[in-house]
Structure 1
Amino acid sequence: MRRKGLIETMMSGTGARTSHSQVVHELGKAIVSGEFPVGATLPGDQELEARFGVSRTVLREAMKTLAAKGLVVPRARIGTRVTPKDQWNLFDSDILTWHFAVGVDQGFLLHLSEIRLGFEPQAAALAARHAGEADINQMMLLAVAMGDPDHTAETLALADLRFHLAVMEASRNPFMRTVGSLIEAALAGVFKLSSPAADRGKIGDVAASHMRIVEEIRRRDEEGARRAMENVIRVGRARMTDTA
């Protein structure tokens, strides 16, 4: 079963979790929130088993998952310690989800927008070079769908995400596809703070700006596609900073 993303979770709430994923989620969120600060040693197995009502096997598998994400490191005769934040994998969708669950500031969202500016304009340029006609038609349909006047903040964010992921896919660069969770986190944060859906007059503008990206891709204008994507990201960032 496909894992829910940030925006879908915003819309429908957290779905059912296995014992393993529940422990990973709760401990991860506790680490990101500072309940277990950097350098702290996590409670022992018995305490955590009692806290979560799971077996030692489930707990140890959860610790392996958190270690793989860079949040903790086991130390012989010391215990499992929380690692410095610069070792956390911020491209990991779970870690981004936990940041949003505990609250992020404007600075965090600005950092996300800067990373988007580093990746997505290049993805649009590559799409102008590599996208097939079916890709272009699909992107245009997704852009047009963003103009639905009945959008809520959440459904518009989901429509926006589908468009941007389609551009990354059309770039034909497999590394671009791996930053999908980062894009989703950025869009979830921006739309949570300030969505164009709050002003019906702006929904059409959002759709039009995304259609311009597709138009440049259809013309095979790599620089034009790059500029159009930059414009979309900068407009979203400006809307966020004006609101915060």
Structure 2
Amino acid sequence: MASEASFGRFTEGTLSSHDQVARTLGVEILGGLYKPGEKLPVEADMLARFGVSRTVLREAFKTLTAKGLIVSKTRVGTVVLDSAHWNFFDAAVLGWKVSQGFDIAFVRDLADVRRAIEAAAAAAAAKRCSPEDIAELRRCLARMDAATASASDFALADLDFHKTVGRASGNVLMRSLAAVVETALLASFRMSSPVREAEEHAASVAGHRRIIDAIEAGDADEAATAMRDIIGHGLSRIERGATSS
């Protein structure tokens, strides 16, 4: 969690200083330092903490309000909203969540969403993909196959694979959603990297190859099933790691 010491003080000329204030407070809210229903410190204390102008602080509060984290109430102050209001499909909010590390419940929630959305994207890609899409998917697969020593290399290739499926679906909303959750997906892939286990690595590559083959064959049902299976494969590795740690 960010602290006053690590955050430092901003000057009026700092680029996007209100975004940095918003990020620090957002991380603290998501991390439970300020709990739902609690009031944030008064404006004077916030100004003293961050060393910014009133305008910068209010812009930061507007950002947090737009993301569903806080609300300002007359004669009450600025109050943290219940987590039901927090917009986890906002790229910044997801980034703040990732910066704290994932709890297993959040990973499972993410997997549920991915199974629904990405399975539909794979099915749509089976009906709409171009030869160029298939070629790009196979390039991603080759990178994954070659990434036997670097979790980061595998994660980036895996992410590019899933983003390509989203583009190949031809559905602009699916593509947009994939972009929004990119930070969370990458963190999830890194957590579940199979590169240190030869059998797991081979199984993951084979599972992704199955998705490509189904898309190329125009088999929407098989493409969706294969996508759900590969997401479940990654989740199972994270769950095993969580129980053994």
Range into which the TM-score falls when normalised by the shorter chain: 0.7 to 0.9
Give distance in 2, aligned partners of 1:140 and 1:184.
23
**Cα shift at 1:201:** 4.5
**Cα shift at 1:205:** 3.1
Contact 1:116–1:183 (CA under 8 A) maintained in structure 2: no
Give distance in 1, aligned partners of 2:50 and 2:168.
43
Give the equivalent residue in structure 1 for 2:125.
Answer: 127
Give distance in 2, aligned partners of 1:150 and 1:56.
51
Of stretches 205-214 and 85-94 in structure 1, the one that deviates more from structure 2 is 205-214
Q: Which residue, out of 151, 154, 169, partners 2:152?
A: 154
**Cα shift at 1:164:** 0.4
Does the C-alpha gap of structure 1 residues 103 and 145 become closer, same or farther in structure 2, counting only changes over 3 Å?
closer
1:98 aligns with 2:96: yes
Give distance in 2, aligned partners of 1:18 and 1:152.
34
Give distance in 1, aligned partners of 2:240 and 2:189.
11
Give distance in 2, aligned partners of 1:136 and 1:57.
50
Counterpart of 2:87 in 1: which secondary structure? coil
Contact 2:94–2:183 (CA under 8 A) maintained in structure 1: no
Contact 1:100–1:189 (CA under 8 A) maintained in structure 2: no
Deviations 1:115-156 (A, max 9, x none): 111111110000011111111211111122111135422221
Deviations 1:80-112 (A, max 9, x none): 111010011111122222223223321111111
**Cα shift at 1:46:** 2.0
Of stretches 174-183 and 215-224 in structure 1, the one that deviates more from structure 2 is 174-183
Of stretches 31-40 and 201-210 in structure 1, the one that deviates more from structure 2 is 201-210
Taking CA–CA contacts closer than 8 Å with sequence separation of 6 or more, which of the two structures ends up with the larger relative contact order?
A: 1
Give the equivalent residue in structure 1 for 2:19.
Answer: 21
1:226 aligns with 2:230: no
Contact 2:148–2:196 (CA under 8 A) maintained in structure 1: no
Q: Which residue, out of 47, 68, 71, partners 1:70?
A: 68
Larger Rg: 2
Counterpart of 2:79 in 1: which secondary structure? strand
Structure 2 unpaired stretches of 5+: 1-13
**Cα shift at 1:183:** 5.4
Give distance in 2, aligned partners of 1:190 and 1:133.
27
Contact 1:24–1:66 (CA under 8 A) maintained in structure 2: yes
Give distance in 1, aligned partners of 2:197 and 2:19.
38
Number of residue pairs matched by the alignment: 228
Moved over 3 A (4+): none
Q: Which residue, out of 160, 163, 178, partners 2:161?
A: 163
1:191 aligns with 2:190: yes
Does the C-alpha gap of structure 1 residues 20 and 122 become closer, same or farther in structure 2, counting only changes over 3 Å?
same
Give distance in 2, aligned partners of 1:150 and 1:108.
28
Contact 1:168–1:176 (CA under 8 A) maintained in structure 2: yes
Structure 1 unpaired stretches of 5+: 1-15
Give the equivalent residue in structure 2 for 1:212.
Answer: 210
* Corresponding letter in the other structure for 1:53: G
Contact 1:145–1:207 (CA under 8 A) maintained in structure 2: no
Does the C-alpha gap of structure 1 residues 21 and 243 become closer, same or farther in structure 2, counting only changes over 3 Å?
same
Counterpart of 2:125 in 1: which secondary structure? helix
Give distance in 1, aligned partners of 2:182 and 2:207.
17
Say what the alpha-carbon RMSD is for the aligned residues.
1.9
Counterpart of 2:195 in 1: which secondary structure? helix
1:58 aligns with 2:56: yes
TM value normalised by structure 1? 0.87
Give the equivalent residue in structure 2 for 1:36.
Answer: 34
